[in-house]
Every structure is written in structure tokens, then in C-alpha cells.
Structure 1
Amino acid sequence: MRAHLKIVLLLMGAILTACQSRSGLLPKSGGRPYEVLLTGDQDSIVYQMLTTDVEALPQPEPSFDVSTTSATTLNTITQSARNIVMLSIDSTVYSQVRLKMERNVYASPQLILHIYAPSISALRAKQDLLGRKVRDILLQNEMENTVAQLKTHRNVKMEKMLQHRLGITIWIPADMTASKWGRNFVWLSNNTTSGMQSICIYTLPQKIIKKNITSEVFTHIRDSVMRENIKGETDSMYMQTVTESLIFRQFIRGLWTMKGDAMGGPFVCRIKTDSIHQRLIITEAFVYAPETKKRNLIRQSEAVLFTLKTKATN
């Protein structure tokens, strides 16, 4: 954690263990994925943190859907929310901005984030970096929830085919029953008319990337694979990358379009190295959902990428 931030993340180990052990006895939490209940916010500072636009989407969408209440304590209705952020400002108690995280306190699954600050000005001074930290915690929590649900709603038959044909273990959503196979490549999809979600998995020789990958190198690699495997109505129509949209962090994010057509949408890509087989394993989730919000669709598909396992990867 960066020294200039001075945010102390209090992980209450004993409390978390106790909450997890009794989570099976708790009522089910309310609300949909990426919904957050915000209490005690002042000057809408935390609200702004939570509603920052999601990166690499074709239209602006907030990071979370936030409902607010002026109450500083939870009642029997609000305490069942799946994600809760509670702000407390008190100069007599807090000397710096701090975070405290609790899980499965009143319901399950549930995450409660407490933000403590001595003053509004102190909170505002940490707004940018604190906002990223809060969003990351909430996003990771929702990803874990999605993976937990995926564990029992999978296309096991397709997973066995992937293991046999590509030597890859990954969890595939139960509704992804459509597939198209190519050379060291597979495209899986739920094949719906609206809100189509897809997963692409392919392997390439490890030597194809000699140094840190750049936008131009990634675009060349990806577009070459997609041009061969994901085409439109004619061979001159194929999926391609919007290079200027690319964002490199833990995963690679960006936008795709269909050359010669009006189709397009967001994608997220993960690249792992299989050192035993001297290959790269590329897993990618992309969405085609015209005139529909895409945030939840791409995040739901992205969770699949976290389940990738090989015998030797780094």
C-alpha cells in the first residue's frame, strides 16, 4: 500500500472467521450484483467514488448502482443488502482515513465496508486513491460471488472437451452450449439474440511475445486469430480490435468491432504462460448487446477467466 495514502485496511480475522462459519445460518442477502447501499455519505464524496464510469465500455455506465440513506445505522431492512458502504466522520475518534471490512454479518453473501475519516476535507484529499481501493474491493467480492455460483452451474461436457482437446481446465457457464472449434482455438457462446456472452480460448507459441506486450503487438496477435476464426457473413467481415481503447492492468480490456458491419462491444482478455508446453494460453470474454447495458454482462463473463487452471502456469 502506498505510503502517501496512509489508509489502514483493518482485516478483522477473528470476526471474519466467525462470520464465515455461521454464514450458512444467515438469511440470503438482498439486491442484485453490483448494487451498493451507501449510508452516512456527506457532500456525495463516496457516491462519486462508487459511480465512476467503468473503463472500456462503449457507453458510460457507473461502476456500481448506488442507493443512499441518511441513516448512520442499519435497520432490519437495510442490513440485508449484499453490499453496504458506511461512512463515519468524527475528528474525536479518527485521526486518519481508514477502511474496515466485514463479511456475512447480517446476511450471506454480504460485504460491509466501513470508511472512517476525521473530516470531510481529509476524506476529499484521499478521494481518488481511496475510491479505487473501495471499487476494487467491491468488484473482487462480486467476482468471487459469481465464481461461487458458477461452481454449481457449469457445462461439464464442454469442460471435458476443452481438457481433452486443448489441455486446459476452466469452468464454463451452463448456458454456453454453442461452440466453434479451430486450430488451437474454441469460441463458446450462449448464442442469445440479446445480451450475447462469449468466451474464446486459444493457445499460441510462447515465443510470439518476446518482451512486454504493447497495444500494437496485442492488436496484431488478436486480430490475426479473430480474422481466422470469427468472421461475419463474408470472409471480408471479421472481428477486430479498437487499438486506442486498450487498457493494460491485471487483464487487458478494450472494445471490438466487426469489420464491414455495425457490430461491436467490450472484451476482456487474460494471457497466461504455460512454461511446460512453451505456450501462451489466451482466454477472452466478449459481449454483444446492442441497445443494452453491458457492465454486468461483461463482468459476469470475466469471472470465468479467473477459473482457468493448467498444470504449470505463471
Structure 2
Amino acid sequence: MIRYVILSAFTLFFLVSCGNKKKSDKDIYIADATGAINNVSVVMENDLWDGSVGEAVRSVLAKPIYGLPQDEPTFTISQIPPAVFSGFVTKNRTVLKIETGKEADLKVLDDAYAKPQKVIVISGKTKQEIIDLIIENEVKIVDVFRNVELAARLAQMEKSPHSYTQIKEKLGLTIQFPSIYSVAKESDNFFWFRKSITIGHMHLMMYDLPHDGIKRNDSTVLQIIKLRDSIGEKYFRGRLDGNLDANGQTISSFMVTESAYAPYLKETIVDNKPALETKGIWELTNDFMGGPFIDYAIEDKTNNRWVIIEGFAFAPSVEKRNYMLELEAIIKSVKIE
């Protein structure tokens, strides 16, 4: 009997002690984030969505992406009324919540309902306050969501990494891309990788050049175009190249930057180094093939050089936004020694 009382008392003490402990972060389970690439859940009332606030949201999140042959929205938007925003629908990687009747504010929340996740909450007492915050913070909103998508795409690709050691040996850098990319060309310090897709193919190329190869001035974008066109002529010959035309003349076909579409150039940071980002359209001379490209010239001052990494895609009759996101994610994974 005494033994039973002691045992019962000990059990009760143990349970009470455990009950008094606060749950640690490790004890709290956070579900994995889900959702299609480049899809943002917008939580707001239907009447707001159908009005001026919804228009402001769409003008930011659905703005056409520069550098694609056809208009494609930056993000695909799924509007959800707050009353049904619960359970599985809260697990999307990117969520924009619009709250009315509160002080004007914009907050970025990490892993609020799932992980990894970014939730941007925009509030205001009036519709105009909310609209002003959306428009004023356009760049921030897009950057927050886009960085989440880039990280998610890279995480997917890291499940099957390449094992191509020559890149590090010859260029002194590491870069993450899946093993499905195959070597199309390797020459000295130049690498070209190719991936077949359902309709078409994707390409990744990388090389370096002396630091005086690109100068920052009013003609920087022209220098980059001239550089990539010279690379295109040397390495990326068209399917008709070398054939004879109707007049018996030899066809010369190679990749160039499309002159009718002005390339976009901006300063950015890659691997904590200054870089030049160029977006535009490529085409083949004397042929009808073309598509978007994204080019990064990374200034490697330590090694007195520029590292050039470019991705481009050929995917006729289908959207190319997600293909270009994959190439951008790969490029931004670079680590230069």
C-alpha cells in the first residue's frame, strides 16, 4: 500500500512538472509550405478585390515581366476571402493579406502558417491608405515574394545536384544546378549546359574575361550585347547553319541579341559582389528561333576579372516565366572563390 502511494505521488508530480513546462520552438510543429511556383495567395474581401484595392494589388503582382517575348504576369494570383482562409489554404509559400479598419502599416511575417513562408500584411483605415501602401512598396513586395520563389526553386533542384567538377577547377567557382543539365560544350574557360524540356530546351553558359573586358560607362549595355553576340557566333550555331539557301548560298545562322527589343540593364548584387543584370530577347540569324535570356556579369575584383553567367530558353507556344525563374535561381547560387 505504501509503495502504491509513493508511486502515485511520483507520477502526479511528473505530470504536473511536464504540464508547467513551456513548449519550445522544437515542440511546435509547422507544416511545410506548399503551392505552385510564382503563385501568390491574396487574402481580402470580395468587394475590395473587385474594386480599386484589388486593382492596385493586380497592378503590382500581375505586372508583365520585362524580358519575355509575350506578356506574362510576375505572379499568378489566387484571391481568397478571409472567411475561408484556414486550414490547407494558409500553407502557400507567399501570402498577401489586406486588413481594413486598422492603422496604416505593412508587415512582413516569417513562417506564420507554414515553413518556409512569407506573409505580407497591409492594413489601413481607408481604401486609399491601403492603396498608397501597396503602390509605395511595390518593389519591396515583389522582391520579398520573388526571393521566396527563387529559394524554393533552388531547393527543388538541389535534390539531384550535378557533379561536374571542371567548373570549379577551371573557373574557380561553384554553382548549383540539377544533374538533368548535360554538357553541350566545354572549351578552355567556357561551359555550356543544356536541358531538354517538354517543348524546347533551356541553356546555361558561363565563362570569365579580364576586368577591362567590360567598362562601366554610357555604353555598358552595348558592350554586353557585343560580348554575348560574339559568344553566340562562336558557340551557338543555328540548325540551318552551313546549309544552302534557294540561291545556292551558304547560310550563316547563330545566336544574337534581338535588336528590335531593347535589353534591360541594372546594377545588382550576386554572391556579395557587384554585378550587371541584363534581360532581353535572343534570336538566330537567318532562322525563326528565339526566346528570352538573362545575363549576369559579376565583378570579381579579387581575381581582376568578370564572371559571366547566362541562361536562355527556347520554348515556343508556352509560358516561359517559370523557366527563367529556374535559370535565375541557378545563377544566383554561384559562389566565387
Asked if TM exceeds 0.5, the reply is yes
> Could you give the per-residue CA deviations for residues 214-268 of structure 1, whole angstroms, max 9, x where no partner exists?
3222111110111111111316111111244311123211111111111111111
Q: Which amino acid in 1 is paired with 2:113?
A: Y
Gaps of 5+ in 2: 1-24, 243-251, 269-276
2:328 matched residue in structure 1: 302
Report the counterpart of residue 15 of structure 1 in structure 2: none
Match of 1:12?
Answer: none
Find the residue that maps to 1:47 and give its secondary structure. Answer: helix
Query: Equivalent pairs: percent with the same residue?
Result: 25
**What is residue 9 of structure 1 aligned with on the other side?**
none
Find the residue that maps to 2:263 and give its secondary structure.
Answer: strand
CA contact (8 A) 1:226 1:239 kept: yes
Question: TM-score scaled by structure 2?
Answer: 0.78
Structure 1 72/206 Cα, relative in aligned 2: closer, same or farther at 3 Å? farther
Contact 2:173 2:334 in 1 (8 A): yes
d(CA) in 1 for partners of 2:85, 2:27: 19
Residue 222 (structure 2) aligns with: 216
Paired amino acid for 2:186: W
For residues 104 and 23 of structure 1, the distance between their equivalents in structure 2, rounded to whole angstroms, comes to 15
**TM-score normalised to structure 1 length:** 0.84
8 Å contact from structure 2 (residues 31, 113) kept in 1 = yes
**1:1-314 alignment runs, 5 A limit:** 22=26, 25-40=29-44, 42=48, 43=51, 44=54, 45-71=56-82, 74-90=85-101, 93-94=102-103, 96=104, 98-156=105-163, 158=164, 160-192=165-197, 194-212=199-217, 214-233=220-239, 234=241, 236-243=252-259, 244-249=261-266, 250=268, 251-311=277-337
Q: Is the 8 A contact 2:122 2:134 kept in 1?
A: no
Going from structure 1 to structure 2, the CA distance change for 1:307 and 1:77 (only over 3 Å counts) comes to closer
* 1:3 corresponds to: none
Q: Is the 8 A contact 1:46 1:131 kept in 2?
A: no
How many residue pairs end up in the alignment?
A: 285
- What displacement does 1:24 show? 9.3
Q: CA separation of 1:57/1:75 partners in 2, compared to 1, >3 Å: closer, same or farther?
A: same
Give the stretch that moved more between structures: 193-202 or 260-269.
193-202
Q: Please tell me the root mean square deviation across aligned C-alpha atoms, in Å.
A: 2.1
CA contact (8 A) 1:155 1:177 kept: no
Q: Distance in 2 between matches of 1:309 and 1:188?
A: 18
Q: 1:125 to 1:26 in 2, by over 3 A?
A: closer
Deviating 4+ runs (over 4 angstroms)? 21-24
- Which AA in structure 2 matches 1:68? Q
CA contact (8 A) 2:93 2:148 kept: no
One-letter identity of the residue aligned with 2:312: F
- Report which stretch shifted further, 59-68 or 268-277: 268-277
C-alpha contact (below 8 Å) 1:266/1:286 kept by paired residues: yes
Shift of 1:155: 0.6
Quote the offset at 1:277 in angstroms: 3.2
More divergent stretch after superposition (132-141 vs 121-130): 121-130
Q: 1:150-176: per-residue Cα shift (whole Å, max 9, x none)?
A: 3332112x2x11112322211122210
Task: State the one-letter code of the partner of 1:55.
Answer: Y
In 1, the alpha carbon distance for the partners of 2:118 and 2:132 equals: 25
Give the letter for the 1:149 counterpart.
Q
Q: Please give the per-residue CA displacement for 1:31-64, whole angstroms capped at 9, x wherever unaligned.
A: 2111111111522121332111111110011111
Distance 1:54 1:171, change over 3 A: same
CA distance in 2, matches of 1:23, 1:259: 61
Q: What CA distance in whole angstroms lies between the structure 2 residues aligned with 1:294 and 1:119?
A: 38
- CA distance in 1 between counterparts of 2:288 and 2:211 reads 34
Give 5+ residue unaligned stretches, structure 1: 1-20
CA contact (8 A) 1:56 1:245 kept: no
Q: How far apart, in 2, do the equivalents of 1:140 and 1:128 lie? A: 19
Asked whether the 8 Å contact 1:197–1:285 carries over to 2, the reply is yes
Task: Report the 3-state secondary structure (helix = DSSP H, G, I; strand = E; otherwise coil) of the residue aligned with 1:174.
Answer: coil
Cα pair distance change 1:231/1:155, threshold 3 Å = same
